[in-house]
Copies of this chain bind each other. A is one copy, B any other.
Amino acid sequence: MTAIPPSVPKMQYRYLGRSGLQVSAISIGGWLTYGGYIENEKTFACMKAAYDCGINFFDCAEGYGGGESEKVMGEVIKKFEWKRNDLVISTKIFWGQANGDMPVNNSGLSRKHIIEGVDLSLKRLQLDYVDLIYAHRPDKNTPIEETVRAFNHIINTGKAFYWGTSEWSAHEIAKAYSIADKLGLIPPVMEQPGYHLLRRDRVEREYAPLYEEYGLGLTTYSPLYIGILTGKYNDGIPQDSRIGLGKDPYVQQVGRTLHDPEFVAELEKVKKLKTVAEKLGCNQTLLALAWVLSNKNVSSMITGASRPEQIYENVRALDILPKLDTTVLKEIDDILQNKPQEVSG
């Protein structure tokens, strides 16, 4: 098929936390686009481009597009006849409402939903197992022990190799580790938090003790903060943009509008990053992506794309990464004024 442009740098692989699994530093997630916003042909082209760039980690969830994201991923793997062992496929359990007609038991982290949800996800993916299975959010109504036992069961029955969490608090993650340790079960190995230039606290401060103590790895999402960090709103937010339209589910979820003075202040800071990017000879998108990768606790940065060219472009962040030395990082910190304070022992 289409060859990848020669200017695309070689993919970098990182261990998923302290595990023996390697994931591409840049990966592809389907939560805004695949199976939903863009058509299948385009999706196939994007996945092919990603694979050709050396991306091996593809991130799904039962909740993305009501399961459509998983179905498309399954079609892609089948279509290109990729070897299963070459791929790291994930899915996440929490929002499986589309699986059923009853108002209960198709979401959350009960043993019932984890096992039934994984089985339905695997059917949509046309796979026997995923590599990574995530708890997509914490579930205050299910004891963590029930959830730890259920994910351990998923791994024991061969339906996944590793399990982790997404947007759990450090306290909840530590509790899962301690329950697994007490019962001799398999502990979680990764977290999937949102992480970008304007959201640093959880990854850099709250989770800090977990990296060394438990070997926690991160697969981060939202590196461009729904497009804000590309700098495309430097001159104001157009009415027909995702943010302007206010229709995007994620935008609605974060619930930020131009009436929010804190949000307006953030947009001002973003504008100032343009100078930094220009000094490094790149645009703000690549600066934002490279910055996420400069955090050594990030095992993989999940990106989205609706065209192959976007993927080729994003992978170029690996060329910018070596330029982010302590001076540049300090300059960014000074502009953003959001570097978390170190936790004293």
> Which residues on A are within 8 Å of B, measured CB to CB?
13, 15, 18-22, 54, 56, 82-88, 96, 99-106, 108-113, 115-117, 120, 131, 139, 141-143, 146-147, 149, 153, 156-158, 161-162, 183-184, 186, 215
Contact = CB atoms under 8 A, between A and B. Distances in A.
27 contacts: A13-B103, A13-B104, A18-B143, A19-B110, A19-B111, A19-B142, A20-B109, A20-B110, A20-B113, A20-B139, A20-B141, A20-B146, A22-B105, A56-B104, A82-B101, A83-B99, A83-B102, A84-B116, A85-B113, A85-B116, A85-B117, A86-B105, A110-B161, A112-B162, A115-B158, A115-B161, A149-B186
Given A100-B83, A103-B54, A116-B85, A156 B158 contact: no
Contacts of A162: 111-112
A224 to B, nearest CB: 26
A139 to B, nearest CB: 6
A85 B105 contact: yes
A216 to B, nearest CB: 13
A258 to B, nearest CB: 39
Q: What 9 pairs across the A-B complex have the smallest Cβ distances?
A: A20-B142, A20-B110, A86-B102, A22-B104, A85-B116, A86-B100, A112-B161, A13-B104, A111-B161
A99 B111 contact: no
Contacts of A82: 101
Contact of A184 (B96, B146, B184): B184
Interface centre among A96, A109, A153, A161 (most CB of B within 10 A): A161
Nearest to A215: B143
B158 A158 contact: no
A150 to B, nearest CB: 9
Contacts of A88: 105, 112
Nearest to A153: B156
A101 B83 contact: yes
Contacts of A99: 83, 85
Contacts of A131: 112
Contacts of A96: 85
A158 B154 CA distance: 10
B19 A143 contact: yes
Contacts of A184: 183-184
A153 to B, nearest CB: 7
A146 B13 contact: no
Contacts of A110: 19-22, 161
Contacts of A18: 143
A91 to B, nearest CB: 15
A36 to B, nearest CB: 22
A146 B115 CA distance: 23
Contact of A85 (B84, B120, B141): B120
Contacts of A143: 18-20, 215
A120 B117 CA distance: 26
A243 to B, nearest CB: 35
Contacts of A113: 20, 85
Contacts of A141: 15, 20
